[in-house]
């Protein structure tokens, strides 16, 4: 019998693939009659939102490549190239479950939690925009974020198609709920009881963490994921198994890891 987690991952993968395949014969482009100038387009306004039920599986696969959804976005920064999408996907379901609206200030990212609010800076012209990440993509090498038509217009990306950008995750200000609370996790539960994980290793490069995850999956380890921490502006990618229900189960996982010579694994609580 397929577990609920497996069903969710399979459903997301099917939604992503079916959306891309059914629209592959339709040419993307800009809408007719869009009259707003770039400096008239308002930013998205960050607000408290629960994590999407549909858009945050531990991992998903598109075109034979597996992507691992981050636990959180605090301290996240990334540089690369942005692209945009418009009429081709307008009105279709986004990975978060929302409807894609090319006139809204939104974006797609492969691994950030949905939703996450980010500031995007066009490094070619200095323009900045705040967008809500509510979709997955872009699934092209070298591209880190796919902007809605409105966001691309504000940033000056429509004419060039792509542009070098810096993406920075935004957090809620003082007096607002913390990121963990927004994610639907009670802080009291985390502080008093915690969630158990078995941590295998920590890496400074995401690709090394993903390589270890692939190796562990090949050896039939389940619930393997990446937890991203920010240490003084430097991202640390921790490979963990879990959450696991009890200390006893965690000890059994440790024993199995030692059988394959991963002797530095340790039990940690959610942090």
Tokens in use for 259?
A: 């059988």
Spatial CA neighbour of 148 closest among 99, 103, 88: 103
- The whole-angstrom separation of Cα 163 and Cα 159 is 10
Q: Structure pTM?
A: 0.59
- How large is the C-alpha radius of gyration of the chain? 20
- What residue ranges of the chain are covered by domains with CATH 2.40.40.10? 7-12+29-169
Protein fold of 7-12+29-169:
Barwin-like endoglucanases (2.40.40)
Interacting residues of 77 by C-beta distance below 8 A, sequence separation 6+:
166, 167, 168, 169, 233, 235
Q: How many whole angstroms separate alpha carbon 181 and alpha carbon 167?
A: 23
For residue 230, give every residue at least 6 positions away whose Cβ sits within 8 Å of its Cβ, in sequence order, or none: 74, 75, 76, 236
pLDDT tens digits in sequence order for the chain, 271 residues long: 334 455 455 455 545 544 443 344 457 777 876 767 888 899 999 988 999 988 999 999 998 999 999 988 988 999 999 999 988 889 999 999 999 999 999 999 999 999 999 999 999 999 999 999 999 999 988 899 999 999 999 999 998 999 999 999 998 654 343 333 333 322 322 343 457 889 999 998 888 888 898 889 888 888 888 887 777 777 888 899 988 888 888 899 999 999 999 999 999 876 4
Distance CA 74, CA 244 (A): 24
DSSP notation for 170-189: ----TTSPPHHHHTT--HHH
- Identify any residues that bridge with 148 across adjacent strands, giving them in sequence order: 85
* Alpha-carbon gap, residue 88 to 134, rounded angstroms: 17
CATH of 186-269, one of 3.30.70.1070, 3.30.565.10, 3.30.43.10, 3.30.70.370: 3.30.70.1070
For the chain, residues classed under CATH 3.30.70.1070 are: 186-269
């Amino acid at each position: 019998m397929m577990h609920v987690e497996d069903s969710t991952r399979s459903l997301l993968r099917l939604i992503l693939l079916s959306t891309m395949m059914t629209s592959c014969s339709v040419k993307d482009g800009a809408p007719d009659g869009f009259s707003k100038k770039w400096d008239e387009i308002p930013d998205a306004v960050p607000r408290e939102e629960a994590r999407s039920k549909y858009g945050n599986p531990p991992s998903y696969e598109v075109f034979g490549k597996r992507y691992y959804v981050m636990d959180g976005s605090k301290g996240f920064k990334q540089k690369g190239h942005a692209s945009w999408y418009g009429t081709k996907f307008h009105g279709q379901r986004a990975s978060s479950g929302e409807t894609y609206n090319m006139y809204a200030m939104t974006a797609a990212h492969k691994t950030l939690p949905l939703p996450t609010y980010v500031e995007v800076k066009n490094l070619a012209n200095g323009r900045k925009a705040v967008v809500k990440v509510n979709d997955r993509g872009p699934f092209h090498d070298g591209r880190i974020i796919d902007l809605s038509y409105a966001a691309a217009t504000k940033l000056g990306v429509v004419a060039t198609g792509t542009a070098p950008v810096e993406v920075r995750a935004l957090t809620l200000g003082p007096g607002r709920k913390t990121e963990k609370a927004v994610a639907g996790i009670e802080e009291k539960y985390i502080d008093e009881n915690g969630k158990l994980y078995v941590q295998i290793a920590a890496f400074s490069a995401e690709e090394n963490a993903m390589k270890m995850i692939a190796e562990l999956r090949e050896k039939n380890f389940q619930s393997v994921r990446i937890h991203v921490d920010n240490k003084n502006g430097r991202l640390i990618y921790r490979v963990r198994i879990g959450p696991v229900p009890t200390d006893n189960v965690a000890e059994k996982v440790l024993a199995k890891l030692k059988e394959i010579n991963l002797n530095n694994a340790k039990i940690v609580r959610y942090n």
